[in-house]
Structures are given as structure tokens and as C-alpha cells.
Structure 1
Amino acid sequence: MKIAILVEGATEVAFREKLREFLQTRLAGKMPQLTFISQNGRIPKEEKLKRVVENLLSGRSAYDAVIALTDVYTGTKDFKDAKDAKNKMMAWVGNNPKFYPHTALHDFEAWLLPYWSTIQKRAKHNRSAPSSSPETVNHNRPPAYYLKEIFRVGKVTRDYNKPIDGAKILKDNDLMIAIQACPELKAFVNQIISLCDESKIIP
């Protein structure tokens, strides 16, 4: 099974190895070939997304499936919520059974918020975690805002760096903690698992 995963950019560096590590524990003997394809900032829209997906699903080196992973918070008003983002991506690509749209709600950092104690240690500050569940943090103050703020006020004396700090925060933590706290992350991971072995889906 060859799966192409379209990502916005730094998400790839921060998340790729941790995801593979997790999947290897559930898909022994059925591990897919995952290729993360960075879109340099954000997932394409409309006809461009359709072309990208169709190109990946055709030709001698065609993939078996394409998953697009977009932030809901893109700095624009393109998407109202996760459902709207998925519906729009599906409409742009058309009726293609090998395309699977998914979202990080509202951005990749939502999946880091469950590891707040690790974030506190890296930022060298004891600021408390956002009170709401990770994926309900909204457009006005998206999850990345909280990480940037704690690094800004902490004693670490540098800004939050998505690929470096994201990877470090994930490195020594169990991905299942974030999966159970973040329904959109669970849906994304289960999509990959279901393409390989439906019996291994996370309940």
C-alpha cells in the first residue's frame, strides 16, 4: 500500500517519524509506504488540488491513495470548520474514491497541546494550558498562538519553531494520548490504518 499525504509544510518534519513509529506498532507486517508531500505553506485549492491528486494517482509510480491534511485555520476565511474544509476539498477533487480529505483543527499545534507539561519544560515557563479541549481552540486564538506565547514569555530566549519544537515535543510522548484527545487526529490516523487493516482501527 502506497499512500501520499499532502501536508502544508513544517508539519511533515514535526510529525512524520512519530506517525510512522506509532503505525508500526499497530500494522506489523502491513505497514504502508507513506510519502509526505509538502505543499510549501498550504494545501492547494480548486483545480490545482484536483490536478495534484490525479497526478499522484496515475502513471507507473501511482499511489494507491492520497490523503490531504489541511489546517482549518489557514490565515484566511476559506474554511468555517473541519466539516466545511473536508467538503470543499472533496468538491474540488471530484468523485474520486482514492482521495481522503482530513484536517488539523484548527492547526497542527492542537495535536501538541495534550503534552502541555513537555511544552512547559521546553519553553521554561509554568503558564497553564488552555482550558478547552485541544481541537476546540478557535480561529481567534488558534492552538499555535498558545505555543508561541509560552515560548515568548518563557526563559528559553527564542521563538517557538514548528519543525524543531514540534518534533521534540512528540519525541518522548505517546501519540495515543493526542489521538484520544483529538478526534480529527484520530480520524486521520484511522484513515491510514483502515486502508491497510480495518481490524486495527482505534476505537
Structure 2
Amino acid sequence: MRIAILVEGATEKAFELILQDFLKSRLQQKMPKFKFISYDGRIPKKEKLKRSVENLLTGNDAFNAVIALTDVYTGTNDFEDAADAKAKMKDWVGNNPNFYPHTAQHDFEAWLLPYWSTIQKLAKSNKSAPGGLPEQVNHNKSPSYHIKEIFKIGKCQNSYSKTRDILRILKNQDLMVSINQCPEFKEFINTILLLCKVNLIP
């Protein structure tokens, strides 16, 4: 099984190692080969996305499946919410059974918020976590804003770095903590488990 995962940029690319480690424990001999393809900003839209997906699913080096992972908040007003983002990506690509659109609502950092105590330690701040479920932290003050803010006011004297700090936040963490609080994250993980023909996370 070969799976291409289209991602927006540095945060998701840094997540690749964490994801691989989590899946190895569940999939063992059924572990697929992943290729994370980063677009340094946001994944393509409309015809560009359709061409990218079709190219990855055809030819001698064809993948068995393509997963697209976008933030709902992209700096534009393209998507209203996770459901709208997935519907639009599916519409852009067309009726392709090997394409699986997924989203982080409102951005990837929502999936880091369940580890707020670790974020506090790294930032050297006791600032409290944003209220509500991680994926309900909204456009006006996105999850990444909250993480940038705690690093800015903390005593660590470092700004939040996506490529550096995602690994520090998630090191030795149980991803099930975030999966159980973030329905979109669970859906993304379950698509991979489905493709590998193993039991899904209920």
C-alpha cells in the first residue's frame, strides 16, 4: 500500500515522523509507504488539485490512494468549515474513489492543544488553555494564534517554530489523547486504517 498525503507546509511535514511512529504500533506488517508532499503554504485548488491527484494515481510510480489535508483557515475565505472544505475538494477532484479529502479545523495546531501542559512547560508560562474543544477554537483566534501567543509571553525567549516545536510538543505523547478530542483528526487517522484494512478507532 502506497499513500500520498498532500499537506500545506512545515507543520504537517514535521508531523510525518510522529504519525509514522503511531501507526507502526497499530499496523505492524501492514504499515504502508507514505509520501508527504508539501506545498509550502496551501494545497492546490480546483483544476490544479485534480491534476495533482490524477498524476499521483497513474503511471509506473502510482500511489494506491491520495489523501489531501488542508486547514479550514487558509488565510482566505475559501472554506466555511471542515465539511465545506472536504466537499469542495471532492468536487474539484471529481468522482475519484482513491481520493480522500481531510481537514484540520481550524488549523493543524488544534491537534496540539490537548497537550497544553507540555506547551506551557516549553513556553515557560502558566497561561491557561483556550476554552472548549480544540477543533472549536475559531477563525478569530485560531489554535496556532494561541500557541504563538503563549510562546511570545512565556519566559522561554523563543518564538513558536512550527518545524521545531511540533516535535517537542508531541514527543513521547499518546496521540490517542488528541484523536479522542478532535473528530477531524480521528477521521483522518481512520481513513489510513481503513486503507490498510485494520480495525478503525471507534
Moved more, 185-194 or 9-18: 9-18
TM-score normalized with structure 2 length: 0.98
Displacement, 1:12? Answer: 3.2
Percent identity over paired residues: 65
| Residue number in structure 1 paired with 2:191 | 191
- Pairing 1:18-33 to 2, within 5 Å after superposition: 18-33=18-33
State the distance in 2 between where 1:163 and 1:154 align: 19
State the distance in 2 between where 1:94 and 1:13 align: 26
TM-score normalized with structure 1 length: 0.98
Aligned length: 202
- Gap runs ≥5 in structure 2: none
| Residue number in structure 2 paired with 1:202 | 201
1:110-139 deviations in Å (ceiling 9; x for gaps): 000000000000000000001111000001
SS in structure 2 of the partner of residue 120 of structure 1: helix
Displacement, 1:11? Answer: 2.5
- Pairing 1:24-173 to 2, within 5 Å after superposition: 24-173=24-173
State the distance in 2 between where 1:13 and 1:79 align: 22
CA RMSD of aligned residues (A): 0.7
State the distance in 1 between where 2:25 and 2:109 align: 24
SS in structure 1 of the partner of residue 30 of structure 2: coil
State the distance in 2 between where 1:54 and 1:150 align: 41
1:146-176 deviations in Å (ceiling 9; x for gaps): 0010001000112100111011101121111
- Gap runs ≥5 in structure 1: none
Displacement, 1:197? Answer: 1.6
